Amino acid sequence: MTARIAELAAGYDQSGAFPAESLRIAHEAGLLTATIGKQYGGRGARVEESARILHRIGRGDPSVALIAAMTLNTHARQAVQPHWPEELYARLVKESFERPVLVNHARVEPELGSPARGGLPSTLARRTPDGWSLSGTKRFVTGAEGLDWFLVWATTDEPEPRVGTFLVPGGSPGIEITGRWDQLGLRASGSHDVTFRDVEIRYEHVIGIGPYGAAAEQDNRAGAALHLPLAALYLGVARAAQSFFHTFAHERVPANLGHPVARTERFRRTAGEIEVLLTAAEELVFGGAARVDAGDSSYAPEQALGARVLADRHGVRAVELAVRLLGNPGLARGNPLERHFRDIQCAPVHAPQEDISLLAIGTKALNP
């Protein structure tokens, strides 16, 4: 599966098209439904298995892995703490086993930025006789073109405003992509800007609705189930870069050397450093995920945040070392390493970013 997705990755990277075929391959392998809870007829994959799935897909194409991650996380959260309307989620599960069904949150806004830094949404949910009418613009909605459900974070227009997540079918009238994703890395992730113009949804299609206040803001400490698999995804990118680095080292035979550069001390030393960086990061990520799954109460959320910080640093550094040693060939267009180098730069961008994570970790350390 990884090899088949990897074969398509360069084309999707170049075109920026939605990676429908790669997602179909992942679905046929049972990966997009892996975290559906056993109570709903699914496998019930938990944090460690999710991390290993995204690590493998990330080796093939991290854009595909990121789109998959959002759907996997939605099912994982529902399995642990059911919060969707029962009939609606049953329908979602049934369709998900039949075809790739993609779900993602739409939270970031042009004025607000990331909710990880605090603040509340300006996207408005207005009461109508039959439900809600939703209006507003969201940014960086991964997989936007192929989403079956947008989970839109919005404020109600009630006399005492509430904040909640509104479940919007992807084919609803009034949904428009208003800003195209055109970034250095993860070019096929389709993380476009999406505008909702008076989108009508049913009254009961809202989850987590509550008072307008600090309690409605994002809890950066509560996301171990997403932080660790996300870190694993980018370590998959680094492993793909490492694989190309090894292939190059064995195949490159300079005329003045007479043997592969893999035999030189310089390449062997760098190969060792890359391996140490990635192995250590994987131990932190997969080991932490296993502790979460085991219900280890001594594993604090700050440890999950810290594992992701270090994994991101190690992944970026490992790919950087490979590119630096290869020189011009490492940055050549059409070279997988050049694409991996661009993709790995996206690792530290995901919320909560490093400074927010370190603030939480430092606060805990100073006040144990």
- Give the CA distances from residue 283 to residues 34, 313, 361, in Å, rounded to whole numbers and listed in that order: 22, 14, 19
Question: Which of 110, 98, 51 lies closest to 284, judged by CA?
Answer: 51
Question: What average pLDDT is seen over the chain?
Answer: 94
Torsion of CA 58, 61, 66, 71, to 10 degrees: -90
The yes-or-no verdict on residue 337 having pLDDT over 70 is: yes
Is 311:357 a contact under the CB 8 Å cutoff? no
Percentage of the residues of the chain whose pLDDT score is greater than 70: 95
Per residue in 257-290, pLDDT tens? 999 999 999 999 999 999 999 999 999 999 999 9
Percentage of the residues of the chain whose pLDDT score is greater than 90: 90
For residue 120, what pLDDT is reported? 82
The yes-or-no verdict on residue 217 having pLDDT over 60 is: no
Contacts of 125 (CB under 8 A, 6+ apart): 132, 133, 134, 154, 155, 156, 157, 164, 166, 206
Measured from the Cβ of residue 277, the count of other Cβ atoms closer than 10 Å reads 23
Which one is predicted more confidently, 8 or 116?
Answer: 8
Q: Which two tokens stand for residue 81?
A: 């703490």
Contacts of 13 (CB under 8 A, 6+ apart): 63, 187, 188, 339
The yes-or-no verdict on residue 4 having pLDDT over 80 is: yes
pTM above 0.75, yes or no: yes
How much is the average pLDDT of 22-29? 98
Contacts of 72 (CB under 8 A, 6+ apart): 31, 32, 34, 35, 45, 50, 53, 54, 229
The yes-or-no verdict on residue 218 having pLDDT over 60 is: no
Which one is predicted more confidently, 112 or 358?
Answer: 358
Measured from the Cβ of residue 42, the count of other Cβ atoms closer than 10 Å reads 19
* Bridge partners (DSSP) listed for residue 125: 134, 156
On the question of a cis peptide bond just before residue 352, with omega within 30 degrees of 0, the verdict is: yes
**Would residue 41 be called left, alpha or beta, if left means φ above 0 and alpha means ψ between -120 and 50 degrees?**
left
Is 10:188 a contact under the CB 8 Å cutoff? no
**Would residue 151 be called left, alpha or beta, if left means φ above 0 and alpha means ψ between -120 and 50 degrees?**
beta
Per residue in 58-102, pLDDT tens? 999 999 999 999 999 999 999 999 999 999 999 999 999 999 999
The yes-or-no verdict on residue 221 having pLDDT over 80 is: no
Residues in the chain: 368
The yes-or-no verdict on residue 178 having pLDDT over 60 is: yes
Q: How confident is the model at residue 211 (pLDDT cuts 50, 70, 90)?
A: confident
How much is the average pLDDT of 129-145? 97
For residue 215, what pLDDT is reported? 45
Whole-number Å distance between alpha carbons of 48 and 216: 28
CA 5 to chain centre: 17
Cα atoms in the 13 Å half-sphere on the side-chain side of 312: 23
